[in-house]
Structure 1
Amino acid sequence: MRLTKILAAAAFLCAGGAQAQIDLARGGPVNTLSPNPNPLMYVSQNLARNLTSTYRYLDDLYSLSASSPARLSLVPDPLGSGRNVLLHNLNKTDPLVSGGSRTEVSLKYEYVIEGVRWYAVSMMFPADWQFHASPTVVAQLHTSQKTLAVPPPVSMVASGQDLNIELHYNYRNMSGQGTDPATRANTGEQLVRAAKIETNKWYCFVVRAEWSYKPGLGSMQIWMNGNIAYEASNVYNAYETWLGNYPKVGLYLPGVMQVATRNLYTDFIHVGGASSTYDMMAALTPCGVNAAATSSVIKQGVL
Structure 2
Amino acid sequence: MPALASAGVLWKGDFETGNTSQWTRQQAVANSRLQVVTDVVRDGKYALKATVRQGDDPIGASGNRNELLYVTHETQGKEYYYKWSTLFPSNYPVNDSWQVITQWHQESCCGSPPLEFFVRGDKINLRVGGNTTPVLWQTSIDKGNWHDFVLHVKWSSDKKAGFVELWHNGEHVLPKTYGANQFGKELNYLKMGLYRDDAIKPEASIFHDGFTMATALEDVMPPAPAPVEEEPAPAPTPIPDDTTIPAEDPTPVTETPTAETPATTPQLPTPQLPTTGQTPTPGTTTPVSNNPTGLPDSSEAAAGGCSASGTSGTLPFAGALLVLGAVALRRRRAPARALAPRAKP
Q: TM-score, normalised by structure 2?
A: 0.58
Instruction: Report if the CA contact (8 A) 1:130-1:259 is conserved.
Output: no
Q: Distance in 2 between matches of 1:289 and 1:106?
A: 32
Give 1:49's aligned residue: none
For 1:79 and 1:29, how far apart are their aligned partners in 2? 10
| Residue 248 (structure 1) aligned with residue 191 (structure 2) | yes
- Counting only pairs closer than 5 Å after superposition, residues 79-228 of structure 1 correspond to structure 2 as 82-99=44-61, 100-107=63-70, 109-114=71-76, 115-145=78-108, 149-168=110-129, 189-228=133-172
- Contact 1:162-1:193 at 8 Å conserved across structures: no
Distance 1:289 1:140, change over 3 A: farther
Aligned pair 1:23/2:13, yes or no?
Answer: no
Partners of 1:158 and 1:164 within 8 A in 2? yes
Distance in 1, matches of 2:42 and 2:206, equals 16
**Residue deviations 1:217-275, cap 9 Å, x none?**
12211222122333345543322133x12222110013x231320100111431112xx
Deviations 1:21-41 (A, max 9, x none): 1113x64434233xxxxxxxx
Give the equivalent residue in structure 2 for 1:69. 31
Residue in 2 aligned with 1:258?
200
How many angstroms apart in 2 are the aligned matches of 1:112 and 1:92? Answer: 32
Is the CA contact (8 Å cut-off) linking 1:143 and 1:241 kept in structure 2?
no
The CA distance in 1 between the partners of 2:149 and 2:200, in whole Å, is 26
1:37-76 aligned at under 5 Å gives the runs 58-76=20-38
Misfit runs of 4+, over 6 Å: none
* Distance change (3 Å), C-alpha of 1:280 and 1:130: same
Cα RMSD between the aligned structures? 2.7
State the partner residue of 1:295.
Answer: none
Deviation at 1:289, TM superposition (A): 6.6
* Pair 1:27–1:265, CA change in 2 (3 A): closer
The number of residue pairs the alignment matches comes to: 222
Q: Which has the higher contact order (CA 8 A, sep 6+)?
A: 1
Would you say 1:281 and 2:220 are equivalent positions? yes
- Contact 2:15-2:48 within 8 A present in 1 as well: no
Aligned to 1:267: 209
Instruction: Report the alpha carbon displacement of residue 97 of structure 1 after superposing the two structures with TM.
Output: 3.0
Is the CA contact 1:22–1:271 (under 8 Å) kept in the aligned structure 2?
Answer: yes
- Deviation at residue 83 of structure 1 after TM alignment: 2.5
Q: Secondary structure at the match of 1:70?
A: helix
Other structure's SS at 2:65 match: strand
One-letter code aligned to 2:95: H
Measure how far apart 1:215 and its partner are: 4.2
Residue by residue over 1:265-298, the C-alpha shift from the partner in whole angstroms, topping out at 9 and shown as x without a partner, is 111431112xx11x42135xxxx979xxxxxxxx
1:100-129 CA-to-partner distances (Å, cap 9, x unmatched) read 31111121x411122112212321001110
C-alpha contact 1:79 1:200 (8 A) present in aligned 2: no
Q: Which moved more, 1:70-79 or 1:257-266?
A: 70-79
Q: 1:281 to 1:102 in 2, by over 3 A?
A: same
Deviations 1:181-208 (CA, angstroms, capped at 9, x unpaired)? xxxxxx8512034211211111121111
Once the two structures are aligned, what percentage of the paired residues are identical? 20
8 Å contact 1:210–1:218 — kept in the other structure? yes
Using the TM superposition, give the Cα deviation of residue 59 of structure 1 relative to its aligned residue in structure 2, in angstroms: 3.5
Aligned counterparts of 1:94 and 1:289: Cα–Cα separation in 2: 42
- Structure of larger gyration radius: 2
CA distance in 2, matches of 1:272, 1:64: 22
Structure 1 residues 82, 236: CA separation in 2 closer, same or farther (over 3 Å shift)? closer
Q: 1:139 to 1:77 in 2, by over 3 A?
A: farther
Cα separation, 1, equivalents of 2:107 and 2:42: 37
SS in structure 1 at match of 2:73: coil
Distance 1:162 1:59, change over 3 A: same
Contact 1:132/1:159 (8 A) holds in 2: yes
Cα 1:121–1:79 shift into 2, 3 Å? closer
Q: Secondary structure at the match of 1:92?
A: coil
Residues 141 and 95 (structure 1), Cα distance of their counterparts in 2 relative to 1, 3 Å cut: closer
Q: Which amino acid aligns with 1:62?
A: T
Find the counterpart in structure 2 of residue 172 from structure 1: none
